[in-house]
Chains A and B, each alone.
Chain A
Amino acid sequence: MNRNEKKQDEICNCGKRVTRREALSTAAKIAATAVIVGVVAGVGGYMGGVASAPQREVTKEVTREVIKTVTESVGTAPAATVTVTKTQTVTTTMPATPTPTIVKVPGATPEERVLNGLKMLIEEGKIKPGTTITILTPPGAAAHFDEKYYREFLDAAQGYVKLNVVTAPPEGIFPKLVSESVEKSGVYDIVTVPVIALISEVVEMGVALELDDYIAKYDPELYTGPCPYPEQVQRSAGFYKGKTYGFNIDYDVWLTHYRADIYEDPEIQKEFLDKYGYPLRPPVTWREFRDQAEFFNRPDEPPHTKLNLSDTPGFYSTWEYKVPYWELYNIGLRWWTTGWPFFDREMNPTIEKPEVIKAMKDMLEAHKFQPKESWTSYWDVAYPMFLEGKIAFYISWTSLMKSSATPASKVRGKVKVAFTPGYPIWGDMDQVGIPRESVRTVGYQAASHVMIVNRYSKNPELAYLFAQFFISPRPSTRIVEDPAGYFEPFRMCHFKSKVFEEEWGPEALRVSEDNYDYYAPDIKIPGCPRYQDILDKEMNAAIQGRKSLETAIHTIAVEWNKITEEIGRDKLIPLWNEVLDTCIGPKLKPYLKV
């Protein structure tokens, strides 16, 4: 190394070699420093985020006595009602701090109050130009958010507000809410949550905004006015721990859809009467359901007959779901019709009650007479089969009425609806031919949708106004009438819609409306997905023959009790009692065994 090279080396250290060990050692030190810095930054950021996040509401339990006048069904005749004055002790959750006085926004109708509210927010500078309301909804409901339905709303917003509809598959919406509960991004303002029973989880996750102050300010006339909600349904969808967190925006209460051309055919009626000794009618009791499942199960029926309208052989009685998730609704419906809700008032599972065991046995018995495809497929195959004229009766959502009325349907004009079957209120569970009034009828809530405002929305009041506009009588009627979307009538005036009357027929509309009186909800308490998963897994094993029904039922009872203990029995008892007290249809409630 000459002198110049030495000098150069002193300056830049170029001659020094870095060994692998040294480099790795340095890298490890850098990594350790990065971890420490990152953790400190992360914790700092998190704490900063917590500090700036909306504070969790502090509430207190208040017990007070109230005198309440209620109208109840009494005794054996469901139609007979008397007025009783009762003194009840009511425990309710109250804000710990006094709520500021809320000034009601003027307007003759809910939608008018929304439009006035919008103008006021703009005047107060609370809405800036270029504000976007982002709505997260399943693709099947996207048509309901077409701008044509919100022209008045957007006009009142004076061009300040735009709508942005983001779609995700129904099963993908809940995970997005889970993420939102951690991220608190406010990326969605409005979310339509499929399966309204999940409202309890959504509220507990902290992503649903409590709406009571806005309801007081803008009065959406939930239970009053010319177009109220059926109270038990709206409470089932949006009410939790004494507060309102969402609006029901769909029907999804199950009904029996049946081929009237078959049921009213004198030859078929005689054939049935001769075989079973009682007249044919859409199944009213589960025993009738079983007999008709057997009677109409004709896999060898040739095509193009009175029964089989399709081009392929085979006619089938009915289709109950036997695949994971969807089977839950058939199980739930049969369960409620025994008079036992999923839990008693102390949160003990009722699945081991003799009536419920019998109901599950009856279900497995009826499965013997159903199409082979029903063991592996669900409505994706069942709907086309019904529309092709290959199924006699089918307990389903009212979307089946909509599909039946389309020109491509071979059963167009031939389908009627009836209440779903039930068990006799008194006596033998296997009775047939008894009056409908003697049967415990249940209008079972199979999924449905609830609209919530994201608690982390940047514009919560604007988002609320959008939600109120959506559910307001006049706009909501137009919105649900859109055949491209899958939401169906959810407020009472929707059942007066001429569009639905033409599509479904007046009788079907009346039955659908009356079905709300027998309303029964899903497991609307925290832990709902856990309870459902166990029920689903075990009952599926029993349905598919991998496990005895008795073992499956016992496992469900044991596992449900474990979940209840884990979440906290004391916490769940008042919440389940809230469901039993507020979410049951008035004509079902007197006949429950709790």
Chain B
Amino acid sequence: MNGVINKLTKALNSKRGISLVLMGPAQFLIFFIAIIPFALEIYLSFTPWSPTMGDLFSAPFNYGMNYVKLLTQDTRYLLALGRTVLFTVVAVTVQLLLGILLAALVDRDFPGSNIVFVILLIPMMFMPVVVGLVFYMIFQSGGPLNHVLSIILQQNITIDWLTNEFTLFIAAVIADTWHWTPFMFLIALCGMRAISPNIIDAARTLGASEWQIFRKIKLPMIRNVLLIAVTIRALESTKIFDELVMFAGGRLNYLYENVSIWTYIMNAVQNQIGYASAGALIVLVIIAVLTFNVILKVLSR
């Protein structure tokens, strides 16, 4: 008995034993909450599985035909992919520029700067569905935005923002920008405040203007931080869903069907789980490739 206990004690005290005890539980947890569902999704993406076909493993393996169809024949999916990319590029670019601008303005001491800082962060605290509802009201044809535009332009403006694909796109970009510019602002400001004041002081002493300091010192020095912020926001923007559903009055938004809406329709409406899995995985791969590229770039600097 003592021998067994000694052996166990020795095993646990070995390098491998310590690793096992420390890492094992976490590995098992990750396995059950992440790897199994993900593996299942990969498997389903290679089948035409729908619940009407019976058990999960009863659908025939279709050798990647879902992927072929999605990328070569399914114009609905490709359009959704295109809309997602367009939205992400436009929204994140606007948010980045505004975030940097706000950060540059707030990155100085002035009375009430802390209050301004907190106020600027508030939109980020809202749930996407609430943002969607608020902007749904704002963008009504008889809503406050048209009212303000009417006053400014001195003519009756009755734009139906949410019933036209282009204006709905603009509305979605505005809502997303209001919601997430604070995030960009926060990251940019943190980056700017992390720059050593000595560098700024030295530049000032050498006669650099504020614009030159911003352009030649601050911006290059926060570039890596901004790259991470852009990556995070881009990942999030591809998933925009709540706002679009709310813009359609809480229903499916056929008008601006991005990849999230498409995936929802394929899953929850059309019941084509296997096909939808393939569509979602294509997006995942695209995002993963882009993200790793960015991370590698940042790490290599």
Which A residues are within 8 Å of any B CB, using their own CB?
11-14, 16, 18, 22-23, 26-27, 30-31, 34-35, 38, 42, 46, 50, 56, 174-175, 178, 181-182, 201, 204-206, 323-325, 372, 375-378, 526, 529-530, 532-533, 536-537, 540-541, 544, 546, 566
Contacts and interface: CB of A to CB of B under 8 A. Distances in A.
Nearest first, the 9 A-B pairs at minimum CB distance are A204-B52, A26-B19, A205-B51, A27-B23, A181-B51, A530-B270, A12-B13, A34-B31, A178-B51
Given A376-B249, A530-B271, A34 B27 contact: yes
A376 B55 CA distance: 40
B271 A201 contact: yes
B23 A30 contact: yes
A540 B254 contact: yes
B77 to A, nearest CB: 13
Contact of A13 (B15, B52, B265): B15
A182 B56 contact: yes
B23 A529 contact: no
B255 A544 contact: yes
Contacts of B14: 13
Nearest to B52: A204
B18 interface: yes
B268 interface: yes
B248 interface: yes
11 contacts: A18-B18, A26-B15, A26-B16, A26-B19, A31-B27, A201-B51, A205-B51, A323-B249, A325-B252, A377-B249, A533-B265
A26 B254 contact: no
A18 B19 contact: yes
Interface of B: 10, 13-16, 18-20, 23-24, 27-28, 30-32, 35-36, 48, 51-57, 141, 162-163, 165, 248-249, 251-252, 254-255, 257, 265, 268-272
Contacts of A376: 162-163, 249
Contact of B36 (A16, A27, A42, A324): A42
A30 B36 contact: no
A23 B269 CA distance: 46
Nearest to A182: B56
Contacts of A16: 15
B165 A546 contact: yes
A372 B141 CA distance: 10
Contacts of B270: 529-530, 533
Given A182-B56, A204-B52, A544-B255, A13 B13 contact: yes
B72 to A, nearest CB: 14
B164 to A, nearest CB: 8
Given A11-B13, A13-B14, A18-B18, 4 more contacts: A38-B36, A201-B52, A324-B252, A537-B254
Nearest to A538: B254
A56 B55 CA distance: 11
A525 to B, nearest CB: 11
Contacts of B55: 50, 182
B168 to A, nearest CB: 11
A113 B155 CA distance: 73
B30 to A, nearest CB: 8
Nearest to B54: A206
Contacts of B23: 23, 26-27, 30
A57 to B, nearest CB: 13
Contacts of A537: 254, 257
A181 B255 CA distance: 32
Given A540-B254, A541-B254, A34 B28 contact: yes
Contacts of B162: 376
A544 B167 CA distance: 14
B13 A375 contact: no
Contact of B15 (A18, A31, A42, A540): A18
B271 A178 contact: yes
Contacts of B20: 26, 30
A399 B281 CA distance: 44
B189 to A, nearest CB: 34
Contacts of A325: 251-252
B251 A324 contact: yes
Among A377, A536, A537, which residue has the most Cβ atoms of chain B within 10 A?
A537
Contacts of B13: 11-14
A39 B252 CA distance: 37
Contacts of B272: 530
A42 B43 CA distance: 14
Nearest to B6: A11
Nearest to B136: A376
Given A18-B19, A204-B52, A533 B27 contact: no
Nearest to B251: A324
B165 A533 contact: no
Given A26-B20, A376-B162, A38 B251 contact: no
Contact of B269 (A204, A533, A546): A533
A56 B24 CA distance: 40
Nearest to A26: B19
B254 A536 contact: yes
B51 A23 contact: no
Nearest to B15: A18
Contacts of A22: 15, 19
B204 to A, nearest CB: 44
Contacts of A13: 10, 13-15
B255 A38 contact: no
A539 to B, nearest CB: 10
B27 A324 contact: no
A30 B19 contact: yes
Contacts of A175: 268
A529 B27 contact: no
Contacts of B248: 323-324
